């Protein structure tokens, strides 16, 4: 049967001061009044049944997640006592699903992205499910056509076409965040795609591979699965999960699997607009611009200002900027950020330096 895991961890500190520990970016109504988590759930309509959708996020977000996704089954909530990176989030889901359904195949998605058009997304995810259902030892990733020589994304190299599947290819190798020179070479070759962070796995085979490459993670996940839906569930998760080695699925699973004859890796190009809404400049691009390049979700009145982005959590609060270009203003009830657009990533540093109640 087909399932989906939405990973909704992360604190989103580059979107401070709106994104906080208590209300991270994936739960904020940043996109037309909807949260990124809500949009990620809606994206699965017609792809995976509602009752087969799992969410993995911090246990402290349980109530907020349930409010954002009222159809989420409580048995499909995977609460992390503390974040242990993406391998353990994927492994958590794999362990629970393998126990529930020996034939479970699941797609791994994040709650960080905006992806359009929906038709292309749905079609390619369905093809990913078909690939794994034909060969459970196959791991599938989805590649995004690069538009510039990014050094902050992982890359996957396209190999030979896979017979009987539309536009599906062998994944020759994974490269995590290359330097500028190599990123430019990958872009020029036309054979590399950005690694989207979306995958399809057979749950039991995924868990088996974690046992090969990260046995210490597999041992802890097995204890959690054994206690799942028993009176010991919460105690065991709270005790075991924080001890799991912190590592990404790319480093711990995909890279070693690409060199292992016991596994075959596939890459499916996805011709979509794929936007990682992880910073204020990225969020700004989701808004329409006026004649001066200014973008906002708030009341504004600017004078001789261009390419100004304003975000506010109060629709009645007026923000005015005079004589500035390429700046970002973020206003909340208890904190305000003003910065040059090209320095917006430093919001993460501010978030770590302010008093705890503002983090």
Instruction: Write down the pLDDT at residue 176.
Output: 81
Instruction: Write down the pLDDT at residue 11.
Output: 78
Buried/exposed 188-217: b ≥16 CB within 10 Å, e otherwise: eeeebbbbbbbbbbbbbbbbbbbbebbeeb
In whole angstroms, give the CA distance from residue 97 to residue 202.
9
Residue ranges, the chain, pLDDT below 70: none
In whole angstroms, give the CA distance from residue 142 to residue 169.
10
Other Cβ atoms within 10 Å of 336 Cβ, number: 12
Instruction: Write down the pLDDT at residue 270.
Output: 95
Instruction: Write down the pLDDT at residue 274.
Output: 87
pLDDT tens per residue, range 292-315? 999 999 999 999 999 999 999 998
The full set of domains in the chain, from first to last, is: 2-276 (3.90.550.10), 280-358 (no CATH)
In whole angstroms, give the CA distance from residue 234 to residue 239.
8
pLDDT tens per residue, range 166-203? 899 999 988 888 999 999 999 999 999 999 999 999 99
Instruction: Write down the pLDDT at residue 164.
Output: 92
Instruction: Write down the pLDDT at residue 303.
Output: 98
Instruction: Write down the pLDDT at residue 40.
Output: 96
> Largest Cα–Cα distance of the chain, in whole Å?
64
In whole angstroms, give the CA distance from residue 58 to residue 81.
6
- Could you tell me the strand order of the sheet in which 306-312 lies? 295-296, 306-312, 325-331, 336-340
pTM: 0.93
Distances (CA, A) of 190 to 187, 194, 229: 6, 11, 48
């Amino acid at each position: 049967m087909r399932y989906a895991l939405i990973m909704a961890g992360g604190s989103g500190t580059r979107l401070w001061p709106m994104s906080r520990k208590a209300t991270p970016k994936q739960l904020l109504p940043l996109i037309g009044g909807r949260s990124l988590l809500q949009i990620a759930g809606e994206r699965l309509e017609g792809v995976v049944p509602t009752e087969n959708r799992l969410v993995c996020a911090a246990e402290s977000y349980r109530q907020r997640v349930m409010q954002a996704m009222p159809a989420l089954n409580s048995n499909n909530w995977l609460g992390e006592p503390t974040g242990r990176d993406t391998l353990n989030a994927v492994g958590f889901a794999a362990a629970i699903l393998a126990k529930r359904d020996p034939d479970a195949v699941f797609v791994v998605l994040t709650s960080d992205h905006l992806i359009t058009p929906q038709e292309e997304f749905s079609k390619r995810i369905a093809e990913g499910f078909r690939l794994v259902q034909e060969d459970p030892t196959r791991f599938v990733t989805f590649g995004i056509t690069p538009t510039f020589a990014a050094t902050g994304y992982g890359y996957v190299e396209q190999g030979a076409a896979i017979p009987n599947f539309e536009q599906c290819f062998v994944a020759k190798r994974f490269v995590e965040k290359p330097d500028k020179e190599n990123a430019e070479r990958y872009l020029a070759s036309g054979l590399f795609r950005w690694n989207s962070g979306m995958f399809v796995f057979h749950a039991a085979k995924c868990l088996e591979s974690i046992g090969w490459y990260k046995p210490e993670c597999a041992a802890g996940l097995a204890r959690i699965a054994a206690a799942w839906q028993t009176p010991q569930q919460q105690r065991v998760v709270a005790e075991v999960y924080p001890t799991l080695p912190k590592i990404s699925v790319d480093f711990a699973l995909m890279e070693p699997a690409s060199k292992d004859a016991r596994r075959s890796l596939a890459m499916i190009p996805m011709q979509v607009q794929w936007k990682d809404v992880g910073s204020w400049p990225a969020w700004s691009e989701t808004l329409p611009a006026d004649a001066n390049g200014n973008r906002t979700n708030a009341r504004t009145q600017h004078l001789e200002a261009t390419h100004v982005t304003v975000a506010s959590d109060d629709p009645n609060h007026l923000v005015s900027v005079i004589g500035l270009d390429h700046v970002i203003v973020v206003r909340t009830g208890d904190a305000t950020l003003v910065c040059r657009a090209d320095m917006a990533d430093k919001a993460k540093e501010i978030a770590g330096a302010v008093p705890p109640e503002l983090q």
